[in-house]
Structure 1
Amino acid sequence: MLSIGEFSNICRVSTKTLRYYAEIGLILPDKVNPENGYRYYSIGQLETMLYINRLKTYNFSLEEIKTILESEELQDEKLCLALTRKKNEIEKKEQEISRTLDQLSNDISSLKQGKSIMSYLKGIDIQLVEVSRMYLLSMRKMIQEYGFSEEYSNCFGALFRKIADDNLTVAAPPMVLFHSAEFSPLGLDTEFAIPVKEYVTGTRDFSPGLCLKTVLVGSYSGLSSVYTKQREWAEGEGYESSNALYEVYVTDPSQVTKESELITEIYYPVKKKASNS
């Protein structure tokens, strides 16, 4: 048997933490002296503590670790799925950190050259284009800010299934139209759509007409900068919004290994402002 102090030293976990773990039922002392309350752990519990520490390094919460420890059926299978999810989460964070480091490096370089850290906006290209009418198979709903990721997957999945069931022909990449400029208590008025060649029940006409077009290569975090630049351009050139802003996802995010491979087209339908004279 090992005293709590010995157990603490071997596993590099404070006695205070061990007492807390016992309090929440994560790992209990093998024996407690009823006379003085001294806690003792078995040699076999060393591996359990190492296991807990290993899962903590993967950012599992104590509650998640407790669930894993208490699982008896298909433990290895469930653990593999849990580890895979954590791996995906960490890889996403790694990409975010890498992107932030690149941005920091670029900003430092700009400042050393006497430029503003916002000078990158000058590199955003804006084209004035005419977009022809298209037929959209779509789903429109109010989306809360935190629900976008799940809705993208659900809605596009449902639309592609309908296309297959109805033998329709995809004419262009998937797109999302934003029918409101800001979130209301009910969410953002959003339409998930796929252009198809056939005009059938369930499809609708969409005629964007004159649009500002920008191609974004890389992370979706750059979308706000594109929106900003397009609005500034429109204001400066005397244009205003004429229809729903929309994004076209040229590349499928589930099919790329790096955010740098993402290609998104942003369209801002516009018209000339009426003259006040």
Structure 2
Amino acid sequence: MLSIGEFSNICKVSTKTLRYYAEIGLILPDEINPENGYRYYSIEQLETMLFINRLKSYNFSLEQIKTILESEESQDEKLYLALNRKKKEIEKQVQEFEKTLDQLNIDISNLKQGKSIMSYLESIEVQLVEVPMMYLLSIRKMVHEYDFAEEYGNCFSKLFRKIADDKLTLLAPPMVLFHSAEFSPFGLETEFAIPVKECVTGTRDFYPGLCLKTVLYGSYSDLPSVYTKQSEWAEKEGYESSNALYEVYVTDPSQVSKESEFITEIYYPVKKKAKLERQ
């Protein structure tokens, strides 16, 4: 048997932490002296403590580790599934860190050259285009930001099924229109739409008219930069918003392996600002 101090020293875990682990039922002392309350751990528990520390290093919560330890199923089977889920989480985090690191290097390089870190906005092109009327088959609903990816898949699946069932003619890639006047954490009024050739029950007319158009190659996280550039262009040239901003997804995000392969067209419907008459 090992005293709590010896066990602590071998595993490099403080006695305070061991007492807390016992409190939450993660790993209990093998024996407690009823006279003085001294805690003792068995040699076999050293491996349990190493196992706990290994899972902690993978950023498993103590509750998750406890669930794995207490599992009535085959522990190896449950552990295999849990480790695979964690692997995917970490791979995603690594991708995000790599992307952030790349951006940091670009900003550092720009500053070395005497450029502003916001100079990348200069490379965003804005075109003034006339977009003809189109018939939209669409689903309009309130969508929370964290539900967007799921709703994107669900809504467009329904729309494509209807196109196939009704033998409609697809005219352009899927698009999303944002009808909310402002961003809200409680949801945005969003319209998932597909332009079709036929005017039938369930379609609506959409007149984009004059629009600012920008093509974005890469991650959707760069969309706010495009919106900023378009807003600045509109203000400078004397235009204002005239309809719902919309995005056209030239590439299906579910069909490409890298964010760098995304191609998105952003349209900002505008009209000339009315000139104020001099008094």
TM over 0.5: yes
Work out whether 1:206 is the aligned partner of 2:206.
yes
Alignment partner of 1:39 is 2:48: no
Q: CA shift at 1:22, angstroms?
A: 0.9
Instruction: Find the counterpart in structure 1 of residue 173 from structure 2.
Output: 173
Q: Which amino acid in structure 2 is aligned with residue 176 of structure 1?
A: V
Q: CA deviation at 1:169?
A: 4.6
Deviations 1:247-274 (A, max 9, x none): 1222233333332222221111112222
4+ residue stretches of structure 1 with deviation over 6 A? none
Matches of 2:6 and 2:165 in 1, distance apart? 66
Larger mean CA deviation between 170-179 and 217-226 belongs to 170-179
Map 1:77-92; keep pairs closer than 5 Å: 77-92=77-92
**Residue in structure 1 matched with residue 97 of structure 2 by the alignment:** 97
Correspondence for 1:183 = 183
- Match in the other structure for 1:234: 234
SS in 2 for 1:85: helix
SS at match of 1:268: strand
Q: What does residue range 138-149 of structure 1 map to in structure 2 within 5 Å?
A: 138-149=138-149
Give 2:72's aligned residue: 72
Aligned-pair CA distance for 1:164: 4.7
Q: Work out the percentage of aligned pairs sharing the same amino acid.
A: 82
User: What stretches of structure 2 of length at least 5 have no aligned partner?
Assistant: none
Question: Are residues 137 and 58 of structure 1, via their aligned partners in 2, closer, same or farther at CA, if it must alter by over 3 Å?
Answer: farther
CA distance in 1, matches of 2:232, 2:257: 33
Deviation per residue, 1:162-201 (Å, 9 max, x gap): 4455454543332211002313575321112233344333
In 2, distance between residues paired with 1:70 and 1:140?
46
Measured in 1, the distance between the counterparts of 2:77 and 2:137 equals: 39
Distance 1:189 1:197 in 2: 25
Q: Counterpart of 2:3?
A: 3
The CA RMSD over aligned residues, in Å, is 2.3
CA shift for structure 1 position 74: 5.4
Distance 1:247 1:77 in 2: 44
Structure 2 residue aligned with 1:118: 118
How far off is 1:76 after superposition?
A: 4.2
Q: Distance in 1 between matches of 2:166 and 2:31?
A: 67
TM-score (norm 2): 0.88
AA paired with 1:247?
E
**Mapped partners of 2:154, 2:201: distance in 1:** 21
Cα displacement (A) at 1:242? 1.5
Q: Can you give the 5+ residue segments of structure 1 that lack an aligned partner in the other structure?
A: none
Corresponding residue number in structure 2 for 1:275: 275
Rounded to whole Å, the distance in 2 between the matches of 1:131 and 1:74 is 60
TM-score, with normalisation over the residues of structure 1?
0.89
Shift of 1:213: 1.1
Other structure's SS at 1:229 match: helix
Q: Which residue of 2 aligns with 1:51?
A: 51
